[in-house]
């Protein structure tokens, strides 16, 4: 038998596949609620964020339904063979959203510090315009994703390093994937966006003050709070 290429799988997809197999084998019947995140994490020996990412991947693929304030329930899959269908076609190359935020914290903390040292007036003007755009969209009840991307791009562009610019943009654009978008659908709300806008203001203030340490800390704080918002209890999802 010829050897077959081995495809590395992201941890959350490995967890999702284990749960999918259990559902397919009837370990979790249609309509029943899955164990709590903390219990699944303990049984699997992984972190709760990884379990959350796995559950969202299963929801995207139609295996489960996340009911805010209640739990995660197994979905009925009419006309689909549970034993043969995998989640390989769902988010095939997508990074885990919570893992992505942690990576952004590392990189963007430093780009903010660099911006504080090197930013020109046009850079801080671009940051200001991006925040204003976010505020205008949020006030109209529209998710201000374009303004959010523009802000983080403006921060890294102050570095003058094209590799860093493309890296940060690639990180940000990864949130357009189905798993991240579904997670955002549960946890991104008007209050959460207002909080993010305020956190951006703190970054901009530090950059304008030429305080690299404060800019780094402000970006770290922003990413930590973003991670906390996406890690909140399901009971707090979509609360306004």
* Per-residue pLDDT tens digits for 16-35: 999 999 998 888 999 999 99
**Paired residues of 9 in beta bridges:** none
Task: For 168-198, write each residue's pLDDT tens digit.
Answer: 999 999 888 889 988 888 888 889 999 999 9
Architecture of domain 97-236: Up-down Bundle (1.20)
Average pLDDT over residues 214-238: 87
Query: Which pLDDT score, from 0 to 100, does residue 84 have?
Result: 47
- Per-residue pLDDT of 8-17, as tens digits, reads 568 888 899 9
Rounded to two decimals, what is the model's pTM?
0.83
- What are the E-state strand segments in 155-219? none
Which of 33-37, 107-111, 128-132 comes out lowest in average pLDDT? Answer: 33-37
210 torsion bin: left (phi>0), alpha (psi -120 to 50), beta (else): left
The residue with greater pLDDT, 183 or 122, is: 122
Position with higher pLDDT, 6 vs 112 = 112
pLDDT of 215 strictly over 90 = yes
Cβ contacts of 231-235, under 8 Å, gap ≥ 24: 231/48, 231/49, 231/52, 231/98, 232/187, 234/66, 234/67, 234/68, 234/69, 234/70, 234/71, 234/72, 234/186, 235/68, 235/69
Cβ count near 46 (within 10 Å): 16
For residues 42-69, give the mean pLDDT: 89
What angle (nearest 5°) sits at the alpha carbon of residue 157, between those of residues 156 and 161?
90
**Fold: same for 11-74 and 97-236:** no
Residue ranges per domain, the chain?
Answer: 11-74, 97-236
Residue-level length of the chain: 240
Q: Which CATH architecture has domain 11-74?
A: Orthogonal Bundle (1.10)
């Amino acid at each position: 038998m010829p050897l077959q290429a081995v495809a590395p799988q992201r941890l959350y997809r490995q967890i999702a596949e284990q749960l999918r197999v259990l559902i397919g084998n009837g370990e979790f019947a249609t309509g029943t609620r899955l164990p709590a995140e903390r219990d699944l994490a303990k049984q699997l020996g992984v972190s709760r964020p990884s379990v959350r990412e796995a559950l969202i991947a299963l929801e995207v693929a139609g295996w489960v339904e996340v009911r805010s304030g209640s739990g995660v329930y197994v979905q009925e899959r009419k006309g689909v063979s549970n034993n043969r269908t995998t989640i390989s076609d769902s988010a095939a190359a997508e990074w885990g959203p919570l893992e992505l935020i942690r990576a952004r914290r590392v990189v963007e903390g430093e780009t903010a510090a660099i911006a504080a040292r090197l930013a020109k007036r046009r850079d801080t003007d671009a940051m200001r315009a991006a925040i204003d755009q976010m505020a205008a969209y949020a006030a109209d009840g529209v998710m201000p994703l374009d303004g959010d991307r523009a802000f983080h791009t403006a921060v890294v562009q102050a570095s003058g390093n094209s590799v860093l610019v493309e890296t940060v943009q690639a990180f940000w654009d990864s949130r357009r994937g189905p798993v991240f978008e579904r997670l955002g659908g549960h946890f991104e709300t008007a209050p959460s966006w207002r909080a993010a806008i305020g956190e951006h203001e703190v970054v901009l203030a530090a950059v304008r003050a030429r305080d690299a340490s404060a800019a780094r800390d402000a970006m770290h704080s922003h990413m930590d709070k973003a991670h906390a918002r996406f890690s909140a209890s399901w009971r707090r999802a979509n609360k306004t």
